[in-house]
Homo-oligomer: A and B are copies of this chain.
Amino acid sequence: MNYQDSAWDPSATLSTSFTLDDLSKASQKFQPTTSETYQTSILKVIGDAHDKGYKRVCMPLTTEKWKKRWSEMCLLPTERSDQDKESAAQAAETWRLNPAFERDEVTITRIDEAENIIVMISDWLELDAADDWVRHDAEIALKQELAYASYLNVHTAILPAPRNRDHVASYARIVNSCLNKSPYIYLSIRLPIYNPSSVFHPGSPISSFHPSSSSAISSPNPGAMPTPALVISESEQVPSTSGGSLNATWEMWDVIRSMCDYNSRLTLTLDLSPALPTTLGVLSKWAAESVRHIFLPSSTFIANMKGYPVLPKPTQQFIRDSMIHRPTIILAEVTEGHHSRGGEAAYSQYVRYLEKTSPAVEASKRTGTVENFAQGYQDYLQAPLQPLMDNLPSVTYQTFEQDPVKYMQYEEAMYRAFLDHPEGEKIVVCVAGAGRGPLIARCFKALERANREATIIAVEKNPNAFVTLQQRQATEWDNKVQLLFGDMRVIQVPEQADILVSELLGSFGDNELSPECLDGAMRFLKSTGISIPSSYTAHLAPLSSSKLYNEARSSKNDKSLETPYVVMFQAVNILSGTKATVDGRCGPQVQECWEFEHPRRDALLNRSGLPFTNSHNARSAKLCFYIPHAGILHGLAGYFEAVLYGNIGLSIHPQRKEQVSKDMLSWFPLFFPFKEPLYLPSNSELHVSIWRLTNDRQVWYEWHAESFILLPASLRAGEELLLGSPGLSPAPSFSLMGAPSPLIDSKEPDISRTATTEVTRMDGELEAVKIGHTSLHNPGGRSSWIGL
């Protein structure tokens, strides 16, 4: 098992990581005269890493000297004279005016040293420090480092992890400013996969030494010298907002990514050092994010029975699942000998083993699977077909005719329907929308298998495909098919059919106007006749995907976020919980919107056998999803299921497709985007409204969502108590409270908080409280409609 001699086309890129210590040792050993290949010690260590099979090398950009100079200039010194302080302040101001490195403050100096290097920005820079001036000077230093890295043509810089939830907005603002200032470099936020407090050791808070200070927040411990763990601010020890929860680090990432407006040069370096939780739900959210690098130190590995390094089960599974996203895996501390067997190579070999055993990667390599068939189409947005308005080209028919499963299901459905007809009795079959004839061919096979005779009538409105039908009629079908050219909604047939077969379904079932077309074709059917398919349903689930959101809005068309797309999902996460809730408020993960049945019962028809209006094909649904883990709603995933005949069906429902029509290739799901990403907290509810609307000329969908959170009813009781009887209570006077003004003699403010005082008498009754909503999408079909 060696990554080098394998024919395997790898998904992941491997990188190793060097510390300052590694670089310093390499420099000491380096003998410029003896080496002809490498001119510098940095080039040598990079070359050695490449020889070991690492495609990338990750290393710090700056040295301890830089940290020392910056700290002396910008942090509050412990025991220095006023004169020293003054000269430090002078140095800092001079530096702020012209931020620049000294030679020995950086690890690399040549453009060839920087090739394929991922640089680590100084990890002691506290961009989210509680102290305003520490943040201020950390921002200048960060920009200096990024400017230097950009000068050396470095493509990716990993930023120190955010650690202070209270000031993550400042961190995010700085990152956004850097993205705009450095137009080429990729910035990757290093982030532990969860719960940072178990990763970082608390240290003393630090404070700046800044000459101006009328509003500088003074530190509670102003004399503290910066320690190596200076990156921890006090707020971590007392988490104030959502701290310590499983979502805490993702929540910080979400603030950063959102405030950087989903910049495509902003990525994640997910740090797998902490032990992973065993709940899939918490981890699956990372699938919807731009995880570019996975940081994996050797200390995360455990030893197997033989002493070789292996990963804990949840970490294994997470890495296997991540492989599909082609990450760069940064192996760190691999030379430290944490494990008794296998040496340095064991770590990368193990990662390659996980890659090969990744079900997603395996599926993409195995022919016959959707994953393999759809290579290159992952997360690629396509406009849904409109076969009724547009005549499809032959190549489109050809693509879809390649689906063995779909036509096998149709053949099986026809076969069973034929069997249910009395032997010897002649059957009339009408194929409505015959295309290039795949259903006709299957119809002949099914008749042969069932030992039945039938008249086959085929209707097709695409004049070009009709030529193909005539060709097959002459060469394959021995002129046994009655070919009729025309639209099934207006054409007349010579004979009424027992079975009407059609393949008019879209990814959402009715979205290619199957209901309207079959309304027109019902005239062809005897009163006892049946339709294949006999019914179909549309299904929805709430979806998170930074990728799809960015793809949908990258179109110049400003309506691109109000139109559904056909997409092969990859970097997505379904936000709804897998199970319906006990209280019955919320349904399952994927929920049914509506159904169409053919033939329609009780249909009211005019003299031509057609409906008066299309009113009866309007639909609407109100769905309620349970959201177990916080996430960002970017859109809705749309699926369909169809009953062809009996228990033969077609399904792209993610939880049922394997059982109904495994490996069917013809349909990717539909993606209904939302213009504004909607934040959904853990344990919330999402109410989705969707409408299928119609007028004389068009059909379209509109969609909308509202989010709710369940609160104990008593939490809101305070509000109700203020209700008085009309006319009895005097109107309360407007209270003039607030921070004391320097201009007004301040009274002690009479502070109170109605709700808080009510909290203690909480009971178990929960009430859904609204917390957000999206706009109404595609109103009036203005952005997308389907032509009748």
Task: Kindly identify which residue among B211, B630, B711, B754 contacts A770, using a CB–CB cutoff of 8 Å.
Answer: B630
30 A-B residue pairs with Cβ-Cβ distance under 8 Å, sorted by A, are A93-B604, A93-B612, A132-B618, A176-B780, A180-B779, A180-B780, A211-B602, A214-B596, A214-B597, A215-B594, A215-B621, A240-B768, A255-B706, A258-B776, A275-B727, A282-B719, A312-B726, A315-B726, A578-B736, A579-B749, A581-B751, A588-B738, A588-B739, A628-B754, A647-B742, A660-B743, A678-B772, A682-B769, A683-B716, A712-B712
Task: Please name the residue on chain B nearest to A696 by beta carbon.
Answer: B97
- List residues of chain B with CB within 8 A of the CB of A177: 779-780
Distance between Cα atoms of A757 and B766 in the complex (Å): 12
- List residues of chain B with CB within 8 A of the CB of A683: 715-716, 718-719, 755
- Please give the count of copies of this chain that the complex contains: 2
The reply to whether B731 and A317 form a contact with Cβ atoms under 8 Å apart is yes
The reply to whether A641 and B278 form a contact with Cβ atoms under 8 Å apart is no
- List residues of chain B with CB within 8 A of the CB of A259: 704, 775-776, 779
Going nearest first, the 9 A-B pairs with the smallest beta carbon separation are A212-B616, A312-B727, A275-B726, A588-B738, A278-B724, A93-B612, A581-B753, A312-B726, A259-B776
Distance between Cα atoms of A135 and B620 in the complex (Å): 10
- List residues of chain B with CB within 8 A of the CB of A736: 578, 655-656
A457, chain B: closest CB distance, angstroms: 26
The reply to whether B595 and A626 form a contact with Cβ atoms under 8 Å apart is no
- Given A241-B768, A580-B749, A641-B742; 16 other pairs, CB 8 A cutoff: A212-B600, A214-B596, A215-B595, A245-B720, A258-B775, A275-B727, A277-B722, A278-B724, A279-B723, A314-B724, A578-B737, A581-B752, A586-B753, A587-B739, A629-B719, A641-B743
Distance between Cα atoms of A651 and B741 in the complex (Å): 10
The reply to whether A173 and B602 form a contact with Cβ atoms under 8 Å apart is no
Task: Kindly identify which residue among B626, B711, B722 contacts A279, using a CB–CB cutoff of 8 Å.
Answer: B722
A contact residues, range:
35 or more
Distance between Cα atoms of A628 and B718 in the complex (Å): 10
| Interface check A395, CB cutoff 8 A | no
The interface-forming segment of A162-170, A225-233, A285-293 is A162-170
- CB 8 Å contact bits of A635-675 with B (1 = contact, 0 = none): 00000010100010101010110011000000000000000
- List residues of chain B with CB within 8 A of the CB of A656: 736, 738, 741, 743-744
- List residues of chain B with CB within 8 A of the CB of A600: 212, 214
- List residues of chain B with CB within 8 A of the CB of A215: 594-595, 619, 621
- List residues of chain B with CB within 8 A of the CB of A613: 93, 96-97
- List residues of chain B with CB within 8 A of the CB of A766: 756, 759
| Interface check A469, CB cutoff 8 A | no
- List residues of chain B with CB within 8 A of the CB of A753: 577, 579, 581-583, 586, 626
The reply to whether A278 and B602 form a contact with Cβ atoms under 8 Å apart is no
Distance between Cα atoms of A685 and B744 in the complex (Å): 28
Distance between Cα atoms of A18 and B354 in the complex (Å): 78
- List residues of chain B with CB within 8 A of the CB of A729: 278, 313-314
- List residues of chain B with CB within 8 A of the CB of A442: none
| Interface check A504, CB cutoff 8 A | no
The reply to whether A578 and B734 form a contact with Cβ atoms under 8 Å apart is yes
Q: A277 with B93: in contact, given A600-B214, A602-B213, A769-B242 (CB under 8 Å)?
A: no
| Interface check A58, CB cutoff 8 A | no
**In the complex, which residues 736-788 of chain A have their Cβ closer than 8 Å to any Cβ of chain B?**
736-739, 741-744, 749-757, 759-760, 762, 764, 766-773, 775-776, 779-780, 782
Task: Kindly identify which residue among B170, B245, B655, B776 contacts A689, using a CB–CB cutoff of 8 Å.
Answer: B170
- List residues of chain B with CB within 8 A of the CB of A72: none
| Interface check A423, CB cutoff 8 A | no
| Interface check A681, CB cutoff 8 A | yes
Task: Please name the residue on chain B nearest to A586 by beta carbon.
Answer: B753
A308, chain B: closest CB distance, angstroms: 15
| Interface check A679, CB cutoff 8 A | yes
Distance between Cα atoms of A722 and B626 in the complex (Å): 17
- List residues of chain B with CB within 8 A of the CB of A676: 676
- List residues of chain B with CB within 8 A of the CB of A445: none
The reply to whether A743 and B89 form a contact with Cβ atoms under 8 Å apart is no
